[in-house]
Amino acid sequence: MLRIFKKIRICIFILIVSFLIIDACTIKKINEVDKNKSKDKYSTWTKSGKKFDPVEYVNSIWSTKLIPEFRTKSTDIKLVLSALKKDRKNGIKLYGRIRKFGGTSAAFRVKGKAKVLKYDNSSMNGLLLLDLLPPDGKKDLDLQVGPVIRQTAIRDSADFITFTDVGNQLQFASLADELNNRIKKEVIKPLDLEHIAGETISFLGAFKLEESDSIDDIAITPIEIKVVKTIAK
């Protein structure tokens, strides 16, 4: 009889403890949990290394974060070039965003106005040859217009895009590819490249400078191009 009574006491104790534990837990509806997960969507890609969608990611940042950052944080290209030519290391320190992936490079957000001297489509990496204002008739730099766009300048120059936001090297590369695809569709496609020589344009964009690169070979990847003066045809 005593043993039965002890067993009953033990059972009652276990039940009391169980109720206390359940009471201390927070119960959430499934849709509330899903909402919280969606807020942490991109960091989830980082943790899992799965489900990264570069198109969806670029859609989410293009007009709300990326374009505004370039419009507010880009430096005049003439100022950047002058600083780099005077003291390359100091110019990088002042205006560059340092990246280290298999080597050290710096990415620069820039803006400027220029006269288009020529549209060079002799290779798949089509270029506009630019003479910065005020024009002197000499080429100062190139601007990439594709169809092949080289490097990852836009991705690497954006302050808010980091490797850990994406997950792994393949996904980080796919992000750069999608940014370049978007540039071709929304920035370059509307241009009349065959008749753009002689026009004055304003531009926002970025370029990368590897340790072995010459400043004279800079090619800007545009994120915005506007024709500000049309020549008489």
Kindly list the domain boundaries of the chain, sorted by start residue.
2-229
What does the pLDDT read at residue 147?
94
> pLDDT tens digits, residue range 55-82?
999 999 999 999 999 999 999 999 999 9
Q: In angstroms, what CA-CA distances link 171 with 81, 99, 185?
A: 32, 17, 21
pLDDT in tens, 119-145: 999 999 999 999 999 999 999 999 999
41/21 Cα distance (integer angstroms): 31
In a 13 Å sphere around the CA of 211, the CA atoms on its Cβ side amount to 6
In the predicted model, what is the mean pLDDT of the chain? Answer: 83
Q: How many CB atoms lie within 10 A of CB 40?
A: 11
Element (H, E) at 79: helix 77-86
Q: Residue 168, CB half-sphere, CA atoms under 13 Å: how many?
A: 7
Name the β-bridge partners of 118: 129
Q: Residue 156: phi, psi to the nearest 5?
A: -80, -15
Say which CATH superfamily domain 2-229 falls into. Answer: Envelope glycoprotein gp160, DUF2291, alpha/beta domain (2.40.50.420)
pLDDT digits (tens, 9 = 90+) for 12-36: 555 554 554 444 444 444 344 344 4
Q: Calculate mean pLDDT across residues 199-226.
A: 94
Distance in angstroms (rounded) separating the CA atoms of residues 158 and 221: 13
Give the Cα separation of 104 and 52 in Å (integer).
26
The rounded distance, in Å, linking the Cα atoms of 172 and 155 is: 9
> What pLDDT score does 169 carry?
84
